[in-house]
Chain A
Amino acid sequence: MTAVRNVYIGQEIERTEDFRFLTGRGTFVDDYEPTGLLHAAILRSSVAHGRIRKIDASAAIKMAGVHAVITAADIGEKIPTIPIRLAPIKGLERYLQPVIATEKVRYVGEPIAVVLAETRAIAEDATAEIELEIETLAPVPDWRVAETDSTLLVEQNGTNVATRYAVGSGDADAAFAIADYTRREFFHAHRHTAVPMETRGLVAEWDAANERLVVTGATKVTFFNRRALAAMMQMPESAIDFIEIDVGGGFGVRGEFYPEDFLIPFAARMTRRPVKWIEDRTEHLQAANHSREIDCELEIACRHDGTILALRGRIHGDMGAYTRTNSGVVPAKAAQFLHGPYRIPAVKFDVAAYMTSKTPIGTYRAPGRFEANFFRERLIDMAARDLNIDPVEFRRKNLIATNEMPYSIGKLVPYENESAYDSGDYHVALEKCLAAFGWQEKKNLQGRNIDGRYHGLAVTCFVESGGAGPRENVRMLLERDGRVTVAIGSSVLGQGLETVFAQIAADALELPFEAFRVLHGSTTLLDEGFGTYHSRAVVMGGSAILDGAKNLLSAIRAAASLQFNCRADEVSIDGGKAKGPDGRTLTFAALAAAAGPISANGTFANAQRTFSYGAHAAHVAVDARTGHVAVLDYVAVEDVGRAINPALVHGQTLGAVVQGLGGVFLDHLIYDANAQLLNASLADYLLPTATDFPHIRGVTLELHRSPSNPLGAKGAGEGGMVAVAATAANAVAAALSSFGVQPNDLPLSPPRIWQLLRDAASGRQRAP
């Protein structure tokens, strides 16, 4: 293979998608309107925990325009459950979610019935006419109640504690026994979740003659979801096509297999009509995965000089009512990432996951990391202050050095092997962050009251994993016109992967960027694909493209050798032309016109994760009388190994920081003591808007490529998110240090900060 000349990789190329999106040519699932369509509305439980005594849809089904009502009784003897895709932690499998409620409901928003009607409005009208009797049972509003097992969500399991396990390395207890200094704190990360611009949605079409099903609107992990659906519907996988069209954001939440991903295809097969379901915003907030709700008790042991000796703690994960496809990731990664980018000889973490009568938990951008970094970095700032060590110096002292790479953190996740950070210079990343932020210049503002606003600064360090295996696949096709179609198993949820993949392919084949067309996600393109999550698309998909390009060039040489009547290894390739030993040349277009389209497959398999890393810094001003926090400056620095398109990486960083700041100050899924969700609308669920956090800067580093993939890329989608709670909360603590305020519970809403200040003024201590 010819050396890749990198004409396109590393360039800030405008997104090819932009023309389509900016001119209204994008096609999202609700734009797809096949004839004969029925619209679905779902009757959801308004009760957190109860026993269904009666469902009578006879009045609803008689309404004009209503076609059918589906309840558990229509689905069959055995109601399918949704399988675990990631994080198969022993115990979680006992709480899988049935695709529709049968005897019990276990959270507000659980599907009970599906109405199919000529319009969505009629379908919604009809849901109100379904007669429903639910005997209310005691709710299980949080993990502390769950742990008592006084009310069981799934009686036959005998407990609400889904799993408990311990992980660690070294002898943490021994280190604590001899440490000069220890401190233990309690932290709370609150329940909130991703709110993509486009909600979930599906159109399912049943072809009765051929017994085939087409599901449009699929994304993220289409091949896994097709496999799951095929098993549930007792159909061969090959009889189901999952089609990915434009998607308006995912952030971990969109594209996992949810009850609707069975119910809508089932409805299409049952009614023999195409069925559309578009999730509305209230449904999204009630029914799509929630995330982040973790309590952590964390303890640090240090020498007097600030050397960290050990970290130990407990993670309590509120899992909601069911285990969904990736629920276990959240507490498991919250434990794993407590270790962070520091040299810590001994760690010991106990993890417990509890079932509660709330919406099930799943992954949201930087799952577990957002929480873990918040817990650890808060504690580090407190320890540094106790030991009278500058918090930056404290971090410098403990950051892992380049010559310690790869650095093993041991086996901190029960379903994974031992992990090792792959490469990097954590110190340089911290220094670059301090320099970009202007730490020296701003330092004198620390804790100062200027016109009633208390200024605070913080810097934190993080490490972040990406690039999950096992494989990704691509098929590359040289068309008769000389252009190349790249069909890949990665999914596109709006990140600009069509552009990025074309950049990689263009360099690998030495063809102009414009020669490429990228098709993605749909199960019709390939036999097998693994999708987009865990910041894996560029690492895995991009590397697969390199392999596909190599194979395509071989195929081109083989085809050209027939034209030139020579051996394949005598064909040289240069700038889109094949050249024979006699000096004759053929453009790829001419070759494909003569020989027919030429195709090749590519694959990249890898069990190693990439570990990006970096530092975040924040400058805040706190209005101590209202509790309002203004973010005056925010700098996020991340080494992504190799930025294929720096403009898009930068966009990922800025977007992630805003999303993270929303998670710190605004986003909050509020439940009452009866496990009723109180704010399932965007009037009350507060997302950051364009004007809330205008001062954000992102710095992308390319210091250390990942050794585990040929591109050298590391995951780049989540590093802007992972350390935001850590950094923002530490900055608030620094601002209010003269009051001794410790913001250890998220979110940092104005009333919460005001309350902390009031408690501090009255000398009250917060109970753990």
Chain B
Amino acid sequence: MKAPRFEYVRPTRLEDAIGFLARHGGDAKAIAGGQSLVPMMAFRLAAPRLLVDIGRIPGLNGIAVDDDGIRLGALVRWRDIERSAELQRAHPLLVEAVRHVAHYQIRNRGTVGGSLAHADPAAEMPGIAVTCDAQIVVVGPRGRRIIAAAEFFAAALSTTLAADELIIEVQLPPWRDNRRWAFEEFARRRGDFALAGVALFYDGGADGTATNIHIGAIGVGDTPVRLTAAESAVEAKRITASIIRDAGAAAAASVKPADDIHAPGEYRRALLGVLTERALARAAGLALREDA
């Protein structure tokens, strides 16, 4: 369980980092917190010849909140988000989701950009990005481009990021005052990757109707997904027990998770329905009557 041999550089300028990635093509890999890449190297599932440590590049660890939304630098660590009073107000859903990331030792190291680039289908940050219509800002030898989260995740552990591009920032649209939200996930143990998870928010009208509903799921496919059928069941309606049931059923019906060693796909699908119901009930402040 020792990593294969590799070279290591730690540039302090973004263009140098991109230069290394561009020159070494697929043989180079950017590293920030190292919480996914290093174990993969130890298991010899990844064997980059060159690690480009981007941890010393200035300007990538900022958290900015303004009228246009929230901008998180690629090097923002989970603990920075957890401890940010500003984000607790500006994006409570993000903060709640991040609290579910692994264990505190890992949250001390892991980064926003690293999680997005790693693209684990059960990871929280990609789920939040997809649910919240995030924009991912990347830079490469051909310049800067912005990729919508919905276009970013290609497959399990695979993104549309080119080998010579780096994520520098993720942008989340502004949060509104009348917003209701919830995050629910189910993992075998605290800190494990979720067997399924749901992030959702909507804007609550004075008459109790939900608009602008966004529901996203993790752990039920190759990538995080928006649950549009479940959203349709809720959009512009008053949330009631029966709407919640409908949304849960729609969520479960809209995914086809594969079987794996942790759970049969059918279980994850049913679990997603339950979590959708629970998340909606929590957001709406309703008590669910739960029998089997």
Please judge, given known A-B contacts A626-B186, A626-B271, whether A452 and B1 are in contact too, CB under 8 Å. no
B188–A666 touching, CB < 8 Å: yes
- A626, A670, A686, A757: residue with the most chain B Cβ atoms closer than 10 Å: A626
The answer, yes or no, to whether B206 is at the interface (CB within 8 Å) is no
B2–A684 touching, CB < 8 Å: no
Q: Which B residues are CB-close (under 8 A) to A388?
A: none
Chain B 57-80 interface 0/1 with A at a Cβ cutoff of 8 Å (1 = within) = 000000000000000000000000
Q: Which B residues are CB-close (under 8 A) to A683?
A: 39
Q: Which A residues are CB-close (under 8 A) to B192?
A: 686
B291–A125 touching, CB < 8 Å: no
A684–B261 touching, CB < 8 Å: yes
Q: Which A residues are CB-close (under 8 A) to B39?
A: 683
Main secondary structure of the interface of A (DSSP, over half): loop
**Which of B23-31, B86-94, B262-270 sits within the interface?**
B262-270
Please judge, given known A-B contacts A451-B290, A452-B290, A625-B292, whether A121 and B2 are in contact too, CB under 8 Å. yes
In the complex, which of the residues B1, B261, B274 contacts A679, with contact meaning CB atoms closer than 8 Å? B261
In the complex, which of the residues A626, A692, A739 contacts B274, with contact meaning CB atoms closer than 8 Å? A626
B43–A282 touching, CB < 8 Å: yes
Name A717-764 residues within 8 Å CB distance of B. 739, 749-751, 754-755, 757, 761
Please judge, given known A-B contacts A125-B5, A754-B270, whether A628 and B291 are in contact too, CB under 8 Å. no
From A449, which residue of chain B is reached at the shortest CB distance? B291
B190–A691 touching, CB < 8 Å: yes
A750–B188 touching, CB < 8 Å: yes
In the complex, which of the residues A120, A691, A757 contacts B2, with contact meaning CB atoms closer than 8 Å? A120
CA separation between A281 and B4, bound complex, in Å? 17
Q: Which A residues are CB-close (under 8 A) to B186?
A: 626, 628, 750
CA separation between A113 and B274, bound complex, in Å? 50
A692–B190 touching, CB < 8 Å: yes
Chain B 263-292 interface 0/1 with A at a Cβ cutoff of 8 Å (1 = within) = 110010011001000000000000011111
Closest beta carbon of chain A to B183's beta carbon, Å: 16
Q: Which B residues are CB-close (under 8 A) to A128?
A: 44
Q: Which B residues are CB-close (under 8 A) to A761?
A: 292
CA separation between A125 and B288, bound complex, in Å? 56
Closest beta carbon of chain B to A254's beta carbon, Å: 18
Chain A 664-702 interface 0/1 with B at a Cβ cutoff of 8 Å (1 = within) = 001000100000001101011010110110000000000
B264–A625 touching, CB < 8 Å: no
Closest beta carbon of chain A to B247's beta carbon, Å: 15
CA separation between A121 and B188, bound complex, in Å? 33
Name B187-208 residues within 8 Å CB distance of A. 188-192, 195
The answer, yes or no, to whether A154 is at the interface (CB within 8 Å) is no
CA separation between A670 and B262, bound complex, in Å? 10
CA separation between A284 and B21, bound complex, in Å? 37
Please judge, given known A-B contacts A124-B2, A125-B5, A626-B274, whether A692 and B291 are in contact too, CB under 8 Å. no
A678–B190 touching, CB < 8 Å: no
The answer, yes or no, to whether A389 is at the interface (CB within 8 Å) is no
Closest beta carbon of chain A to B193's beta carbon, Å: 8
The answer, yes or no, to whether A280 is at the interface (CB within 8 Å) is yes
The answer, yes or no, to whether A624 is at the interface (CB within 8 Å) is yes
Q: Which B residues are CB-close (under 8 A) to A124?
A: 1-2, 4, 44
B1–A670 touching, CB < 8 Å: no
CA separation between A626 and B184, bound complex, in Å? 13
Q: Which B residues are CB-close (under 8 A) to A689?
A: 189-191
Closest beta carbon of chain B to A191's beta carbon, Å: 13
Closest beta carbon of chain A to B271's beta carbon, Å: 6
Chain A 627-640 interface 0/1 with B at a Cβ cutoff of 8 Å (1 = within) = 11000000000000
Q: Which B residues are CB-close (under 8 A) to A754?
A: 267, 270-271
Q: Which A residues are CB-close (under 8 A) to B274?
A: 625-626
- B261, B262, B292: residue with the most chain A Cβ atoms closer than 10 Å: B292
From A454, which residue of chain B is reached at the shortest CB distance? B292
Q: Which B residues are CB-close (under 8 A) to A452?
A: 288-291
Closest beta carbon of chain B to A464's beta carbon, Å: 29
Please judge, given known A-B contacts A628-B186, A679-B261, whether A121 and B292 are in contact too, CB under 8 Å. no
Closest beta carbon of chain A to B251's beta carbon, Å: 14
Q: Which A residues are CB-close (under 8 A) to B22?
A: none
B190–A624 touching, CB < 8 Å: no
Q: Which B residues are CB-close (under 8 A) to A120?
A: 2
B261–A670 touching, CB < 8 Å: yes
Chain B 149-180 interface 0/1 with A at a Cβ cutoff of 8 Å (1 = within) = 00000000000000000000000000000000
The answer, yes or no, to whether B3 is at the interface (CB within 8 Å) is yes
B1–A280 touching, CB < 8 Å: yes
CA separation between A626 and B273, bound complex, in Å? 10
A121–B3 touching, CB < 8 Å: yes
From B292, which residue of chain A is reached at the shortest CB distance? A624
Chain A 487-522 interface 0/1 with B at a Cβ cutoff of 8 Å (1 = within) = 000000000000000000000000000000000000
CA separation between A52 and B274, bound complex, in Å? 50
CA separation between A757 and B266, bound complex, in Å? 13
Closest beta carbon of chain A to B7's beta carbon, Å: 14
From A278, which residue of chain B is reached at the shortest CB distance? B1
Q: Which B residues are CB-close (under 8 A) to A454?
A: 292
A125–B267 touching, CB < 8 Å: no
Name A369-406 residues within 8 Å CB distance of B. none
CA separation between A594 and B213, bound complex, in Å? 91
From A679, which residue of chain B is reached at the shortest CB distance? B261
In the complex, which of the residues B5, B188, B267, B271 contacts A755, with contact meaning CB atoms closer than 8 Å? B267
Q: Which A residues are CB-close (under 8 A) to B3?
A: 121
B264–A692 touching, CB < 8 Å: no
Closest beta carbon of chain B to A200's beta carbon, Å: 14
Closest beta carbon of chain A to B255's beta carbon, Å: 16
Using a CB–CB cutoff of 8 Å, the interface residues on chain A facing chain B are 119-121, 124-125, 128, 280-282, 449, 451-452, 454, 624-628, 666, 670, 678-679, 681, 683-684, 686, 688-689, 691-692, 739, 749-751, 754-755, 757, 761
Excluding A452-B288, A754-B270, A761-B292, 15 further A-B contacts by CB distance (< 8 Å) are A121-B4, A124-B44, A282-B1, A451-B290, A452-B290, A625-B270, A626-B186, A628-B186, A678-B261, A683-B39, A686-B192, A688-B189, A749-B188, A750-B188, A750-B267
The 3 closest A-B pairs by CB, nearest first: A452-B290, A624-B292, A121-B2
Using a CB–CB cutoff of 8 Å, the interface residues on chain B facing chain A are 1-5, 39, 43-44, 186, 188-192, 195, 261-264, 267, 270-271, 274, 288-292
In the complex, 13 of the A-B residue pairs with CB atoms within 8 angstroms, ordered by the A residue number, are A120-B2, A125-B4, A451-B290, A625-B292, A666-B188, A679-B261, A681-B43, A683-B39, A684-B262, A686-B189, A739-B292, A750-B267, A754-B270
